[in-house]
Amino acid sequence: MSDKPVIGFIGLGFMGHGMAKNIRAKGYELWVRGRSNRTPVESLLSMGAKEATSPRQMAEVCDIIHICLSNSPQIEATMRGPDGILAGARKGLIVIDASTANPASTEALAAELSAKGGHFVDAPLGGTPVQAEAGQLSAMVGCEEAIFDRIRPVLDTWAAKSTRIGEVGSGHKMKLLMNFIGLSYGALFSEVVVLGAKVGISPQIIREVISPSRMGNGFFETFMGYVVDRNRDSHKFSIANAAKDLRYLNDMASDADMVNIIAGGAKHYYTHAIATGRGEDYVPMLSDLVGALNGVDMAAEVKKGG
């Protein structure tokens, strides 16, 4: 019998499938639970994974459970529902939440699991779906140091780098700070390319000048991959998720009694996109929305600058 812990995985989307695949490939017994899309579930079952009927069952048979879902309400339902993880939790169970979540919710769930003798870990992700498939993500981890040491071998199956930020909740706080930077870039770059178009500077020229400069970065490259090349999949992060993350960031700032004008301004762009039915678009497509608000067709501007 293997001395490796039995692993569970809930949430098999863009990131979750690759993470779960790497866990199974490293020889861990794996239980999975997906949603309506059966493709990632069947992929993992073909590798020898088992399918749980509920989060409760997963908690009863697994030693460590990963959660990789879209938002805190989904995580809370998975934990607290009648067939949720807490209903089946036993002493020693570790739950690793790899989602981007509200730190206040994370801390509350951690207390509830602790009351049952378990341990809650927040380990939000840095990286892309391609890196998830390759096992090359990064993790920002919030938990006790002893628990970090215990879960490190499992984290290493899907993360090239895991950094313990501090106690429970600190991982999600760090992730929100990181996403605040990136999503503010999304709003900033949208204004830049639209203003450039209005004053006669094409998106192509903006990319040519900025990319090799100190202001160029990976986010800029994937963002401009859509703006200039019209590659829809160059930066696959939805506006709906972006708005959620900025909402959590603004809540965190409010709880800290901080004035946060830039975060508030960035949030409004994404909120407007959702209000106009664009929530499932990806972040670089915000440039089209900002263009429309200013009477600029960005696709036409790219053609003009070609």
Active site residues: 175
Q: What is the rounded CA–CA span in Å between residue 61 and residue 73?
A: 24
For 166, other C-beta atoms within 10 Å of its C-beta total 15
Sign of the alpha-carbon torsion through 15, 21, 22, 27: positive
Contact 64, 155 (CB under 8 A): no
* Cβ atoms of 219 and 183 closer than 8 Å: no
Distance of CA 15 to the CA centre of its chain: 8
128: left (phi over 0), alpha (psi -120 to 50) or beta: beta
What Å distances lie between residue 238 and 35, 74, 173, CA to CA? 18, 17, 20
